[in-house]
Structure 1
């Protein structure tokens, strides 16, 4: 498995790998909704942004993450971020995560479009498993992941310590290569409904 680094796009979004020229736009997109950041594993809001940005670029250089700015095609605005991370070529697996969208970008085609692009990119590169994890307290995120067609695999108790110091239980979801044709078809139908 070798996942290439480059932009991914469809008619709704353009995913642009992080580079210095995107820093200000990404910072502006993420500096909102403190309630949402409060339950995230890490924070990229406000004073936390520079450390988060530096860590994302370091992981990209190490080949374990591809962090993307999410640009909405309808108006060209960067409305969030998402990543392929925990990239493990030996086991042909990765995760989709570190996802945050501005409130006005939630609930429409942005998330399914991003997930369709990222899943397709990973499976086209030879992945056999793509994981999506979320905090057990985040019912909205769990519902969105299930709506994508990922299968719930269980709860990892006290799996991570969040930036606020809380011991987080993590709900594990995955799409494997055997699932991908059905998941892809469902996402394509869902995106087609947006016209």
Structure 2
């Protein structure tokens, strides 16, 4: 498995791997919704942005993460971020996460379009397992992940410590290579209905 940092796009979004020229657009896109950031493992809002950005670039250089700016094709605006991370070629697995969308970009085509592109990129590169995890208390996120077609695999208790110091239980979901054709077809139908 070799997942390379290339732009990915469809009719709804263009995912652009982080590079210095995107920094200001990403900063502006993420500097909102403090309530949402309070529930996340890390924060990229306000004063937290520079450290978060530098950490993402360091992980990209090490090959363990591909962080993307999410550009809405409709108007060209950067409306969030998402990543392939915890990339482990030896185990042919990775995670999709570190995802944040501006409030006005939630609930439509943006998230399923991003997930379709990321899953396709990972499986085309030889992945056999792609995990999607979320805070166990985030019912909205859990429902969205199930709607994508990922399977629930359980809850990891006190799995992560958030930037606010809270011990977070993590709900674990995954799509494996045998699931991918059905998940892909479901996402394609869902996105076709949104066109």
Task: Tell me the TM-score normalised to structure 1 length.
Answer: 1.00
Q: What residue number does 1:36 align with?
A: 36
Q: What residue number does 1:152 align with?
A: 152
Secondary structure at the counterpart of residue 90 of structure 2: helix
Q: What residue number does 2:100 align with?
A: 100
**Matched residues in 2 for 1:170 and 1:142: separation?**
10
Query: 1:108-187 alignment to 2 at 5 Å?
Result: 108-187=108-187
Shift of 1:44: 0.3
Shift of 1:166: 0.2
Task: Tell me the TM-score normalised to structure 2 length.
Answer: 1.00
Q: CA deviation digits over 1:76-97, x for unaligned, max 9?
A: 0000000000000000000000
**Matched residues in 2 for 1:192 and 1:139: separation?**
26
Secondary structure at the counterpart of residue 51 of structure 1: helix
- CA-atom RMSD in angstroms: 0.3
Q: Structure 1 stretches of 5 or more lacking a match? A: none
**Matched residues in 1 for 2:77 and 2:156: separation?**
36
Q: What residue number does 2:188 align with?
A: 188
Q: Tell me which stretches of 4 or more aligned residues in structure 1 moved more than 6 Å.
A: none
Q: What residue number does 1:54 align with?
A: 54
Q: Does 1:77 align with 2:49?
A: no
**Matched residues in 2 for 1:185 and 1:26: separation?**
31
Q: What residue number does 2:88 align with?
A: 88
